[in-house]
Amino acid sequence: MIIIMNSGATDEQVIGVEQKLLAMGMQANVSRGIARTVIGAIGDEATVDKEALEALPGVDRVLRVMRPYKIVSREGHETNTVIDVKGIKIGGKTIQVIAGPCSVETQSQMDAAAEGVARAGCRLMRGGAFKPRTNPYTFQGKGVEGLEMFRNAADKHQLPIVTELMDVRMLDTFLEYGVDVIQIGTRNMQNFDLLKEVGRIHTPVILKRGMAATVTEWLMAAEYIAAGGNHNIIFCERGVRSFENYYRNMLDVTAIAVLKRETHLPVIVDPSHAGGKAWMVPALSRAAVAAGADGLLVEMHPTPCEAWCDADQALDPQQLADLMTELRGIAHVLGREL
């Protein structure tokens, strides 16, 4: 950490900063220039309160040298982390497409969906049993019964299941049903108590970007999970709120490149909640894969017009299969597989 003093800072003020740093367990290295004095603080800056230093008399500003997110950062961990979900690798050479309906509805709907997911060549399945709906009077998900239906359908095709956890009180149930990947939705990205709880287990977590979260806030949210000991974290860009209302959210393709630089963890993209319309999904998927995403999270329903939730953004099974064929070509050009 570097503390830059004001141009007129007095010796007493410099000593004051040195003493504060010592009290924080840091060493101080004072460099006196012609115009400014700069103090290098040596030690673990992750736990240091930057604002407490900035408030000291004579201090102009304080700069961090290290990223505040230590575990998820590429600093000190250069190679990509590959997350293993029942033998399926996320973050490696193979791009993984996780597909399935927005919501678990009925056993026959889930059976048909699982069949479509497997037939398209996808290796993991999504489906929400607990739904975070904007309107409290709309379908809220089938709950535990939904987990049961999801497990039954996915097991027939050996598809690991990805489903959203909204309430920490359901965590034990998720573990009982052997949920393979826990999804934390956009609305809970900064639910720090929920993040801490999924940090205590080892189940992989898909952390969706908050709809108005900066990349740094998103990385810090992941650090909450990692700090508890769970390093199996997958970032999922799903579009952010913008001024544009033609589509549901603005897919931040730039964030894919930024995250791939900032973190060693896998990055996937949800083109369905970004565009909000099925016809946009192929274009956004192509962009995501071309930009370096390690996978996609795509909504697919056996009969989209009958879906209980997000009907207009779901692909049908044939559209998913066509998308997989198309993406395979892009993956190949990039030296990856799908």
Choice between 62 and 162, CB closer to ligand PEP: 162
> To which H or E segment does residue 243 belong?
none
Choice between 18 and 164, CB closer to ligand PEP: 164
CB 177 within 8 A of CB 147: yes
CB 272 within 8 A of CB 249: no
Choice between 67 and 131, CB closer to ligand PEP: 131
Query: Which of the choices ligand PEP, Mn ion, none does residue 123 contact, using the CB cut-off of 5 to 8 A by kind?
Result: none
Site for Mn ion in 84-103 (CB under 5 A): 102
Q: Which of 142, 231, 238, 260 binds ligand PEP (CB under 6 A)?
A: 238
- What's the min distance (Å) between Cβ of 177 and ligand PEP? 17
Instruction: Name which of 241, 257, 252, 247 is nearest 278 in CA terms.
Output: 247
Supply 280's token pair: 């946009």
Interaction of residue 273 with ligand PEP, rule CB under 6 A: yes
User: If you write DSSP's letter for every residue of 26-94 in order, what string do you get?
Assistant: -EEEEEE-SS-EEEEEES-GGGS-HHHHHTSTTEEEEE-SS-S--SSBSTT--SPP-EEETTEEESSSB
User: If you write DSSP's letter for every residue of 276-324 in order, what string do you get?
Assistant: -SGGGHHHHHHHHHHTT-SEEEEEB-SSGGG-SS-GGGPBPHHHHHHHH
Interaction of residue 102 with ligand PEP, rule CB under 6 A: yes
User: x/- site string to Mn ion, residues 272 to 301, per CB under 5 A?
Assistant: ------------------------------
User: x/- site string to ligand PEP, residues 182 to 221, per CB under 6 A?
Assistant: ---xx---------------------x-------------
* Cross-strand bridge partners of residue 63: 2
96 burial class (0-12, 13-18, 19+ CB within 10 angstroms)? buried
Contact stretch for Mn ion (CB under 5 A) within 104-112, 198-206, 302-310, 325-333: 302-310
Choice between 126 and 260, CB closer to ligand PEP: 126
Q: How far apart are CA 227 and CA 223, in angstroms?
A: 6
Instruction: Name which of 225, 173, 177 is nearest 204 in CA terms.
Output: 225
Q: How far apart are CA 100 and CA 208, in angstroms?
A: 17
User: x/- site string to ligand PEP, residues 111 to 130, per CB under 6 A?
Assistant: -----------------x--
Interaction of residue 248 with ligand PEP, rule CB under 6 A: no
Query: Which of the choices ligand PEP, Mn ion, none does residue 165 contact, using the CB cut-off of 5 to 8 A by kind?
Result: none
Size of interface with Mn ion, in residues (CB under 5 A): 2
Site for ligand PEP in 152-171 (CB under 6 A): 164
Q: Which of 91, 310, 321, 327 binds Mn ion (CB under 5 A)?
A: 310
CB 96 within 8 A of CB 295: yes
| Binding region for ligand PEP (CB under 6 A) | 102, 128, 132, 164, 185-186, 208, 238, 270, 273
| Binding region for Mn ion (CB under 5 A) | 102, 310
